[in-house]
Amino acid sequence: MYVSRVFPSNLLLRAFSVKVPLNKIKLTTSRSSGPGGQSVNKSETKVQARFNVSQATWMPEDVKDKFMIVHKNRISQAGDYVVESDEFSCQQDNRKACLEKINKAIKEAEKYSPEERLSFLEQIEKTKSQEEIINYNKRRRENRRKLKRIGHKTLADF
């Protein structure tokens, strides 16, 4: 695996108000999996793009915070946001796909507005009367008993 930078450092990737300098994104290539004949073991077409979110000085702090919330599952323990692409048989197309994914991720982070999420029971409490809540809980217990009699496992059994 080797690191390659084909893009000049003055190129910028635009995502709404954020300008992503391409020299700050580390691009690595590797061999792609899947069918491809004899050349599959020779050409490195899979591209992985990564950048450290906390060290991204080009990203405004509010967007950076939103980015950390929205994409917390794609950020490594080291703080790197990692995207990879091996959908195309050409390295340049996969590189372009990775950069588009980063662009899309930043746009999602900019649009994100935290909403207060209520649990299902809290939603019922807000909209239903006390009697309806009691009936709901009673029906739920009865259904659990029926399922136990039949032999089905409920989520509570796991």
For residue 99, give the nearest of 34, 13, 24 by alpha carbon. 13
pLDDT in tens, 95-135: 999 999 999 999 998 888 877 566 666 766 677 677 777 88
pTM, 2 dp: 0.61
Q: State the pLDDT at residue 90.
A: 86
Q: Parallel, antiparallel, or unpaired: how do β-strands 18-21 and 80-85 relate? A: unpaired
Band of pLDDT at residue 81, cut at 50, 70 and 90:
very high
Q: Which residue has the higher pLDDT, 64 or 4?
A: 64
User: What are 50's strand-pairing partners?
Assistant: 26, 82
Q: State the pLDDT at residue 8.
A: 44
pLDDT in tens, 24-78: 899 998 887 766 666 666 788 899 999 999 898 888 898 899 999 999 998 999 9
Q: What radius of gyration do the chain's Cα atoms show?
A: 24
Residues comprising the chain, all counted: 158
